[in-house]
Amino acid sequence: MSRKLQRTEVCADCSAPDPGWTSINRGVLICDECCSVHRSLGRHISIVKHLRHSGWPPTLLQMVQTLASNGANSIWEHSLLDPAQVQSGRRKPNPQDKVHPTKSEFIRAKYQMLAFVHKLPCRDDDGVTTKDLSKQLHSSVRTGSLETCLRLLSLGAQANFFHPEKGTTPLHVAAKAGQILQAELLVVYGADPGAPDINGRTPMDYARQAGHIELAERLVECQYELTDRLAFYLCGRRPDHKNGHYIIPQMADSLDLSELAKAAKKKLQALNNRLFEELAMDVYDEVDRRENDAVWLTTQNHSTLVTERSAVPFLPVNPEYSATRNQGRQKLARFNAREFATLIIDILSDAKRRQQGKGLSPTDPLDLGIDDDQHDYDSVASDEDTDSELATHNNNNTMDSSDLSDGPITLQEYLEVKKALASSEAKVQQLMKVNNNLSEELRRLQKEVRGGKKHGSGTDSDYDNTHMYDPSLSVGRSSEEESRGESEDGGGGEAGEPDPTLPCTEDVILKTEQVTKNIQELLRAAQEFKHDSFVPCSEKIHSAVTEMASLFPKRPALDAVHCSLRLLASSASRLQVECRKAVPSESGAPAVDYQLLTQQVIQCAYDIAKAAKQLVTITTREKKQ
């Protein structure tokens, strides 16, 4: 791609104008459509972030912009620049080409298969080639030529290479030379900020001794990236690393843990360091997925949300991980907000405990090391709070606290999945074809409720394992499978015995349509950044939810109905609390983090839609028996 095109900022993959996203590890700017494909590849292939609506460390953004403006894309499209390729008919997509298969196939070939990257001459000993490349990287990072280092990394140079003669890694060299953008690039490619040289000194030590204070402080942030990101996701705060490295949000009901939660916490504490680190990294990736989903939904044109450009419903498969770990990673998408918050808090707490007790042996650049005793607590509301009590949390970061209506998804269950599940990779690959987002699910729900009693006809599904991984929304399952799934989860009663206390199916459908209509209105407000519309939208949703809940008996016979109603009501109440935060407060109050707020609002709306759909499913099934 020419420098002229780079300066006018076009998508690196299809040349669409004004790209809003970037692939950090590829150093390119990409449009919305191409971004959806990048996200489906997984973070091990492409780490995506929105240029304007995501939080950015300034030097990381500068590193990406420098690469993009200096022709980094030519690294990934090297062979396409050969005129012979044009004559052979090989070309990159145009903005008007379809996402699937045209753009998606090109992007997979470009970044996953590295089909267009310059190939090294064949040598008998691949290890020597990698060592030579790594030595070149070790030398090059002392300069400002980012694209040279990215090219070496693309060819296989190792970011954590330990130079046998020099006794240092490339990050030590970059730190000593004050090359902060090179340091950012190396860390993105896995360089460990805490790696010791032959004398036990870290890159942070090198930066401080050379007087590069800003770089030293940035390397500290990189070392604690995992724990910082998890804490920020829950409470919108990061430690300053001068007065402490750790912020541990606290659940309001943490002193009254259930026996199941206590057992899950003990199981986490019993994990060896390697498995604990794997779990922490998996949760980090899930946080990244959820944050990008929130940005995605708020930046898309609402009228075109339900297209082949869609969000990623769970973590994509990483072929370097086992099938059981990939399945466990995908299962994280089923945790509702409160369950996920509890898991994050347990991980943060146990990371600190391990560091203080016997220390961790980090094998990943997202170092879990903690070396201070300071605790900062931010309150996270519990699901036992009443509406009035919830309002008092208006200045705290409240989390959704509803129960998952098809049975609790606990850490204990997740760990059992990591050990016990043995489905084939082919099944997992099949599962990846199920590519739905919240708006698409709402569309499905609306189609179902419009169909009334036709809801139960269904069609056979190719994804018979989907119920194990997706966000409990029955995506890709037939109605027969949905009914069976509800029963297996403890939601159904005796077969062939309809519950006479349940309301008329048509009434439930009517109220559900109103709930989903109001949710769509809220999502449009979020997408258009009309934060002043949040409160009236949430009031409408709460009213519609109240009317829907009034159709059902106060003490329903079916556990599934009780759980769904509880999820519906608590999510609607929590949505009101979150939306009230959008109201401008008195002068001097902290500014509202609208990105974090929108993320919480979308999560609440998601849980409301899920509960409404489950009530439609249960009512339809029971009335047919």
Of the listed ranges 46-60, 250-264, 453-467, the one predicted with least confidence:
453-467
Residue 587 has pLDDT above 50, yes or no: yes
Lowest mean pLDDT across 108-122, 293-307, 397-411: 397-411
- Residue 403 confidence (pLDDT): 30
- What CA dihedral angle connects 439, 441, 445 and 447, to 10 degrees? 80
Specify the higher pLDDT residue, 90 or 277.
Answer: 277
Task: Quickly state the pLDDT bin for 378 (edges 50, 70, 90).
Answer: very low
- What is the chain's mean pLDDT, rounded? 76
Least confident of 64-78, 261-275, 450-464: 450-464
**Closest of 333, 339, 488 to residue 408, by C-alpha:** 339
Mean pLDDT value across residues 135-157? 96
- Tell me the mean pLDDT in the region 17-34: 96
How far apart, in whole angstroms, are the C-alpha atoms of residue 488 and residue 564? 15
More confident call, 451 vs 216: 216
Give the pLDDT of residue 290: 92
Q: What is the pLDDT of residue 619?
A: 83
- Provide mean pLDDT across the span 469-477: 30
Mean pLDDT of 496-504: 69
Residues 304-313: tens digit of each pLDDT: 544 445 567 8
Query: How large is the average pLDDT for residues 338-346?
Result: 89
Phi-psi label, residue 309: left if phi above 0, alpha if psi -120 to 50, beta otherwise = beta
Say which residues have a Cβ less than 8 Å from residue 146's Cβ, sequence separation at least 6: 27, 63, 66, 67, 70, 72, 181, 182, 185
pLDDT at position 564:
85
617 phi, psi to nearest 5 deg? -60, -45
Please tell me what DSSP assigns to residue 166. T
Mean pLDDT of 256-263: 68
What pLDDT score was predicted for residue 424?
Answer: 30
Residue 163 has pLDDT above 80, yes or no: yes
Cα separation, 348 vs 368, in Å, equals: 9
Which of the residue ranges 43-47, 317-321, 574-578, 614-618 has the most confident prediction, judged by mean pLDDT? 43-47
Q: Percent of the chain beyond pLDDT 70?
A: 69
For residue 42, give the 3-state DSSP assignment.
Answer: coil
List, in sequence order, every residue forming a beta bridge with 10; answer none if it has no partner: 17
Read out DSSP for 53-83? TS---HHHHHHHHHHHHTTTHHHHTTGGGSH
- Whether the per-residue pLDDT at 77 is higher than 90: the answer is yes
d(C-alpha 463, C-alpha 433), whole Å: 9
Calculated CA dihedral for residues 302, 307, 311, 316, nearest 10 degrees = 180
Residues whose CB is less than 8 angstroms from the CB of residue 165 and which lie 6 or more positions away in sequence, other chains included? none
Question: What pLDDT shows up at residue 387?
Answer: 34
pLDDT > 60? residue 242: yes
Mean pLDDT of 176-183: 98
Angstrom CA distances, 338 to 205, 237, 401, 573, 603, stand at 40, 18, 4, 14, 10
d(CA 468, CA 296): 25
Give the residue, 584 or 493, on which the prediction is more confident.
Answer: 584
Residue 122: band (very low, low, confident or very high) from pLDDT cuts 50, 70, 90: low
pLDDT at 27 over 90: yes
Which range is least confidently modeled, 38-47, 151-160, 225-234, 425-434?
Answer: 425-434
Task: Indicate the pLDDT class of residue 148, thresholds 50, 70 and 90.
Answer: very high
Q: What is the pLDDT of residue 73?
A: 96
Classify residue 419 as exposed, middle or buried by CB count within 10 Å of its CB (0-12, 13-18, 19+): exposed
Residue 525 or residue 477, greater confidence:
525
| Nearest CA among 331, 493, 497 for reference residue 410 | 331
The pTM of this model reads: 0.64
pLDDT at 89: 60
| Range from 52-66, 69-83, 350-364 that averages highest in pLDDT | 52-66
Looking at residue 81, what is its pLDDT?
A: 81
| pLDDT over threshold 60, residue 261 | yes
Q: Which of these ranges, 186-195, 204-213, 397-406, has the smallest mean pLDDT?
A: 397-406
Position 538: which residue type? S
What proportion of the chain, given as a percentage, has pLDDT over 90? 41
What mean pLDDT comes out for the span 134-140?
97
The DSSP output letter for 94 is P
Say yes or no to pLDDT of 422 above 50: no
Q: What kind and span of H or E run contains 35?
A: helix 32-41
Task: Quote the CA–CA distance of 510 and 544 in Å, as a whole number.
Answer: 10
For the cut 80, the answer to whether the pLDDT of residue 402 exceeds it is: no
Which span out of 235-249, 314-328, 422-436 was modeled with the highest average pLDDT? 314-328
Residue 228 pLDDT > 90: yes
Pairing of strands 250-251, 28-30: unpaired
pLDDT tens across 440-461, in order? 555 555 555 555 444 333 333 2
pLDDT of amino acid 479: 34
